Amino acid sequence: MEVQVRYRSAAGRTVVHEPGLLRGVPLEERAPLSEPHAYKGRRSILTEWFSTTSRLSVWCSSTVQMDAAMLLDFDPDIICFQSGVAELHWRHEGRQGTVQPAFFARRRDGQRLVIPHRSPARASGPEERALQQTATAADWQISPLQVPEGVLHSSLRSIAHFRAAEFAPGPQARQTLLNTFAAPRPLQEGAAASDLGTQAIGHAWYLLGTGELAFDRTMRLLPTSRIWTSAGNSSSENDG
């Protein structure tokens, strides 16, 4: 099977290369090949997710893809992701086609991910083989598209309202909240106990979005829910 990858260079030009030449190329930082547009008769709903991880807009072709972008954005292990940045063009036995992954992402450990719209394990057609072949050559890890459901979806939607910079705490307020929630306690109660005033509750929700504060993802997140300082963000100080 012959596969070529179309993407933008660091200079913004559209280029086409063999998969092996994509090793180490930060596709997750590149601009999309094109900006999707709504058009008459379009079946899917065009949406846009503003990523607090990359501080960039991520275009999505459906609400399902936007929910997946939301989950990526709240994953502390993902440090960068983008959609629409590359296409895989394949030829095999007189047939040809195009694979357009949902996202490209990079984990904190440096591993690059390609996230298809559907799991390759569910099918074994030429598109899936082209993706597998390309991922092996480019050293990408194929990561199935995941979408938050039920109470997790509701909780992440609630947190999303507080992702704006206006809710971000300063260094001192951040540390105060991490100390306050060193042991699990209700969100609203802890915010009040922090003595940070009316901004404390918004700051706490913001830190839930960055992953610095954690919550039980099996339960719907409410102002009365117990939250705590996540692993890796504990303070040497404690408010007792």
Tens place of pLDDT per residue across the chain (240 aa): 999 999 999 999 999 999 999 999 999 999 999 865 554 444 445 578 888 777 788 988 888 899 999 999 888 899 999 999 999 999 998 999 999 999 999 999 999 999 998 765 555 689 999 999 999 999 999 999 999 999 999 999 999 889 888 999 999 999 999 999 999 999 999 999 999 999 999 999 999 988 899 999 999 999 999 999 987 565 434 433
Residues 170 and 218 in one domain: yes
Structure tokens at 179: 């100390």
Residues 164 and 70 in one domain: no
Residues 155 and 132 in one domain: no
Residue 240 lies in a domain: no
Residue 63 lies in a domain: yes
Going by C-alpha positions, the residue among 222, 214, 73 that lies closest to residue 158 is 222
Please say which residue of 83, 116, 142 terminates a domain: 142
Domain, as residue range, for 192: 150-229
Residue 176 lies in a domain: yes
Residues 83 and 172 in one domain: no
Distance CA(202)–CA(169), nearest Å, equals 9
Residue 235 lies in a domain: no
Tell me, yes or no, if the pTM score tops 0.75. yes
**Which domain CATH number covers 76?**
3.40.1350
Going by C-alpha positions, the residue among 121, 123, 112 that lies closest to residue 144 is 121
Residues 123 and 36 in one domain: yes
Please say which residue of 117, 142, 167 terminates a domain: 142
Residue 236 lies in a domain: no
Please say which residue of 142, 177, 196 terminates a domain: 142
Residue 237 lies in a domain: no
Residue 239 lies in a domain: no
- The total number of structural domains that make up the chain: 2
Residues 47 and 31 in one domain: yes
Residues 17 and 82 in one domain: yes
> On the CB side of 107, how many CA atoms lie within 13 Å of its CA?
11
